[in-house]
Chain A
Amino acid sequence: MLVACVLLSLAALVLPAPQRSTIAGALRGSIVVPLAALQERAEVSRRAILAYDASVRIADSVRLRASQSDVVDAENERLRRLLGLGAALKWGFVPAEALHGRGLGDDYTMTLTVGRQEGVVPFSPVVAPEGLVGMVETVDASSSVAIVWPHPDFRVSAMSADGTAFGIVYPHLGSGATRFLLELRGVAFRNALRPGTLIVSAGLGGVYPRGIPVGTVLSELRTAEGWARNYLLRPAVRPVDATAVMVVQPQRAREGVAAVWQSAVDSALKMVVSAGDSLARRRADSLATTERQRLDSLQAVRPRADSAAPPVTPPPRRVP
């Protein structure tokens, strides 16, 4: 048997290539078919396993680039808006890079890359395209330190964008996530503010010029005092996002900057008005069944219109 098998094997080895191919092909086309199919599937599986690693690597790098692209886009958008702010201010400002520390207490201050040499003086407002960031506290030759709105000493005289309600904005000294919100205190009791109302600096006190967005009303805070209302505000600017800011110089602040953010105020007002309109429409629809309910709703609107009377403005605590 061995001799026969060896002879057959040797014969297969010395056969001309076409005949060998014919015999091999006949085998592949008959009894080896399932084995060939198995091998083919196994090799496809192996290629898939190898390609999976490569595709994961490619997907990871694409995802990384995409995430970096988001950051770059956000930075570009911020710089574009800062350029727009500079164009609107026209003069009397110093652009600066804001450096954020990562230590304890660094949530309350930021270091600016401009100082006395660039014309920065203490008590200059620091602003971003979104609104008020803080105020310069100390000035060195080429750098300065500004307190930002979460700082416990931060105060700004503020008013609603339509000028109907005035108060003082403080940092909200709550715990947890609400620590990074603001409070509008001392609003006259008759001046009820709706959530979403834009609050801007009032220009009283001589530090912050009128019209810089400070935040928007989130909700009313319950207090024991019955003669004034306090509101919780969502700040206009998140300090960690403020990487490039403008320091407004005192003479420019005295000239007024209200027109700079007016478009933002207008659009916010439009949003509030449209929200109010849609609410009114909804209310009108729901109360349209009886004439008496409609009259009641009109009466409810009237006192609010009367609330546009000049308010009592409390003085800001911090005066340079």
Chain B
Amino acid sequence: MRTARGLWFSIVFLLLVGLHYTLRPVLGWHASIDFLAIAVLLVAVRARPGVATLVGFAVGLVSDSMMPGAFGAGALAFSIVAYTASSLKAAFFADNVALNAVFVFLGKWVGDLIFLAAEHRLGGSEFLSQALLWSPLAATVTALVGVAVLLLVRPAVGTPRG
């Protein structure tokens, strides 16, 4: 039973990573869905903080390899978000859709803020518009999709551990 759930969980995780590199470029939205953030948060609520941090770091490194100018920023952001999410999951991951949405929203937005601060690429008004407009918009879209994914995969992968 546990193995089957683990297998399903791995498939969902890989599917989300795949969607990040297929559906997201096709959609081409400015405030785009961050499937990697959903995947990392999905792991974070089911794994211990150490494992979640490691997965976040690996996913961040993969993401950073596509943009060498900010190499390390994504790894830093996903590591912190994964660790924090994994530590706070007891508080957030009650069986409440709204709380799950807030969890994903905050995870994505905080991750973006850490990324923007770490990469040092944007400054002034550009940084503010990205941090206060586009990132929250992207976090909102990601939260909506994330909640849908959580609801869809819950029967297959089970509820998060307490």
Is A35 a contact of B21 with CB atoms below 8 Å? yes
A78 CA / B17 CA spacing, docked (Å): 66
Min CB–CB distance B139 → chain A (angstroms): 21
Residues of A within 8 A of B21 (CB): 35-36, 38-39, 42
The yes or no answer to B118 lying at the interface (CB within 8 A) is yes
A8 in contact (CB, < 8 A): yes
Interface residues of B toward A: which range? 20 to 34
A1 to B: closest C-beta gap in Å? 4
> Would you give the 0/1 interface string for A27-71, flagging 1 where the beta carbon is closer than 8 Å to chain B?
110011001101101110110010000000000000000000000
- Give Cα A31–Cα B59 distance, bound, in whole angstroms: 11
* Cβ-defined partner of A39 (8 Å) among B25, B64, B119: B25
CB closest residue in chain B, given A35: B21
0/1 string, B60-94, CB within 8 A of A gives 1: 11101110100111011001100100000000000
Who on chain A is nearest to B57 by CB? A5
Is residue A298 within 8 Å, beta carbon to beta carbon, of the partner chain? no
Q: Does residue A319 face the partner (Cβ distance < 8 Å to B)?
A: no
Across the interface, do B17 and A10 meet the contact criterion of CB distance under 8 Å? no
Set B22, B49, B68, B76: member contacting A20, Cβ < 8 A: B68
The digit string for B11-40, where 1 denotes a CB below 8 A from any CB of A, is 000000110011111111000000000000
Distance in angstroms from B45 CB to nearest chain A CB is 16
Number of interface residues of A (CB under 8 A): 32
Known contacts A8-B72, A13-B72, A15-B71, then 7 further A-B pairs from the complex at CB < 8 Å, ordered by chain A residue: A9-B75, A31-B62, A35-B18, A35-B62, A38-B18, A38-B21, A46-B27
Contacts of A45 in B (CB 8 A): 25-26
Smallest distance from the beta carbon of B50 to chain A beta carbons, Å? 4
Q: Which residues of A contact B (CB under 8 A)?
A: 1-2, 5-6, 8-15, 17, 20-21, 23-25, 27-28, 31-32, 35-36, 38-39, 41-43, 45-46, 49
Q: Which residues of B contact A42 (CB under 8 A)?
A: 21-26
Which residue on chain A has the smallest CB distance to residue B65? A27
Can you list 13 contacts pairing A with B, beta carbon distance less than 8 Å? A1-B83, A9-B76, A12-B75, A17-B68, A24-B66, A25-B68, A32-B66, A35-B62, A38-B21, A38-B22, A39-B25, A45-B26, A49-B26
Cβ–Cβ contact B22 & A27, under 8 A: no
B residues near A, CB below 8 A?
A: 17-18, 21-28, 49-51, 53-54, 56-57, 60-62, 64-66, 68, 71-73, 75-76, 79-80, 83, 118-119
Alpha-carbon separation in the docked complex, A13 to B69 (Å): 9
Tell me, rounded to whole Å, the shortest Cβ–Cβ distance linking A24 to chain B. 4
What are the residues of chain B within 8 A of A27 when measuring CB–CB?
61-62, 65
- Give the residues in chain A near B76, CB-CB below 8 Å: 5-6, 9-10, 13
Assuming the contacts A1-B54, A35-B21, asked whether A12 and B66 have C-beta atoms less than 8 A apart, the reply is no
Q: Which residues of the other chain, A, contact B53 by a CB distance below 8 angstroms?
A: 1-2, 5
In the bound complex, do residue B60 and residue A9 qualify as a contact, i.e. CB atoms below 8 Å apart?
yes
CA distance A167 to B150 in the complex (A): 89
Q: How far is the CB of B118 from chain A (nearest CB, A)?
A: 6
List chain A residues, Cβ under 8 A from B66: 24, 28, 32, 36, 39
State the Cβ distance, B106 to closest chain A Cβ, in Å: 18
The interface residues of chain A lying within 8 Å CB-to-CB of B24 are 42
Q: Indicate if the CB atoms of B25 and A5 lie closer than 8 Å.
A: no
Smallest distance from the beta carbon of B115 to chain A beta carbons, Å? 11
Residue of A nearest to B25 (CB): A42
Partner of B75, one of A8, A35, A36, A39: A8
Contacts of A35 in B (CB 8 A): 17-18, 21, 62
10 closest residue pairs by CB, A with B: A12-B72, A9-B76, A27-B65, A13-B72, A1-B50, A42-B25, A5-B79, A24-B68, A5-B57, A39-B21
Residue in B17, B25, B27, B80 whose CB lies within 8 Å of A6: B80
Which residue of chain B lies nearest to A50 when distances are taken between CB atoms in the complex? B28
Q: Is the CB of A9 within 8 A of B62?
A: no
- Inter-chain contacts of A46 with B (CB < 8 A): 25-28
- B71's contact among A2, A12, A49, by CB below 8 Å, is which? A12
